[in-house]
Structure 1
Amino acid sequence: MGNFHETLGINELKNKNAIWKALLAEFLANVLLNFFGCASCTHISGKPPSLVLIALTFGLVIFILAQTIEHVSGGHINPAVTAGMMATGNIGIVKGILYIIVQCLGALAGSAVLKALTPEDLHKSGLGNTQLAPGFSPIQGFGVEFFLGFVLILVICGVCDPNKPQAKPAATLAIGMAVAVGHLATVDFTGSSMNPARSFGSALIANNWTDHWVYWAGPILGGVAAALLYKHALAAPNLGPMRIVERYTIADEKELKRLDVNRDEP
């Protein structure tokens, strides 16, 4: 029974204060993601939005949101990330499902606020609703979104590897850059969703569900594949407590010698 509870992640729900804070953080982050990100996709005066503007907006908003809530919820902000973490056992099933639910609700709320705060003429652009470009088949779109999810979760696993502490300071910046790169490369192909919740929110508000499965299956399967590949093939080797102690001991000894030399100087 204990193993069953551990697999489902029931124990993670015992601290109700922590779980509610985490769910609130994921909800709020997706509200802001869809509001600011989808706002950058909205056409003004009939002019198509700049692809660079869209890429920078999504990359920067993910960077600042991950930096803000990473200590509260892990900064998933994306069902594909949550699915990857569930596949590798970094988050329990129940908690992961709750994350995905609030991520979708947050994205929906963000798109709803964007619609409420913009003139009706701008709603014709779809308010950031992700669609396949003309000539792209659903299978091709699925492939594009698969690799977008794959690269995002691969980067997340790499920069958040507990055995790579040197990568920690730049982790959220690298994640934001991965999002920006994905948009720069493929926003003209599929809208570069990378995030099922982000597409869900804008699709519901625009009431346009064409090929919507692409934006769930692609990023989630890509994210799960990347997470499993990193865990079983690319994870940094465990330094072990002795190696870590030795590293800091050597550094301390060098610092003490430097101070001794300075003390002996007249």
Structure 2
Amino acid sequence: MSEIKSWAFWRAVAAEFVGMLLFIFIGLSAIIGKDATGSLENIAQEKIAQELKVALAFALAIATLAQSLGHVSGAHLNPAISLGLLVSCQISALRCLCYILAQMLGAVAASAILNVSKGQGFIIEFLATLQLVLCVIAVTDKRRSDVTGSAPLAIGLSVGLGHFAAISFTGCGINPARSFGPALIRSELKDHWVYWLGPMCGGIAAALIYDFLLCPRTQTFSRRRDVLLHGPEDQSDAVEIIGEGNSSPGPSQWPKH
């Protein structure tokens, strides 16, 4: 029961909620698409393409979220994995229970968000960008020594993941500058605010979630102000995480997907 008194424990539970929300959002968004039309052959081909799209979306989602959240919670994102690690005596019963509850709530929240009809374009752009910026911040966090593989590749896959989720709805902006150029040249600026407000709010939300909830920094307000005004004194400066240390499962305990 000592875990329940640890902020690291609750940050890990929050990471499972956020991760499951993004995982389900991406997967369901990839599933939802235009119905196949035309000949039976064309319908069959489109069905195969859709199945491949969905499979890749879920696979890339796990890969990206494991890089983004694995150092916080282990990135289980599946009650079966949490239960398996419990039986394997790698996590406590309390952590398993809280993880499963957080995963269930995250799945319900993602489903509810996608069920909203009004403002859907904004929501899609917001969440697609949130997962991208969260990945960028996480894999480039200089406090981490556990990032394996290529950080640029992880970020590139995250961009692809955003396209799997959003391209059927908004064309997948997630980059206001990229959306602005073609829209201006072609004079198609109607509802263009979606491609600015969604990604910008998503980026801000990702930074706040990571820096203040999932992996807090010890920087004081004055330190943050100095960085905003003058830039960091030392680009290689690594800041320690607040609290008693991260008690969540380490990289060697991450589930293999």
- Give the structure-2-normalised TM-score: 0.41
Q: In terms of Rg, which structure is larger?
A: 1
More relative contact order in 1 or in 2 (CA 8 Å, sep 6+)?
Answer: 2
- Give the structure-1-normalised TM-score: 0.40
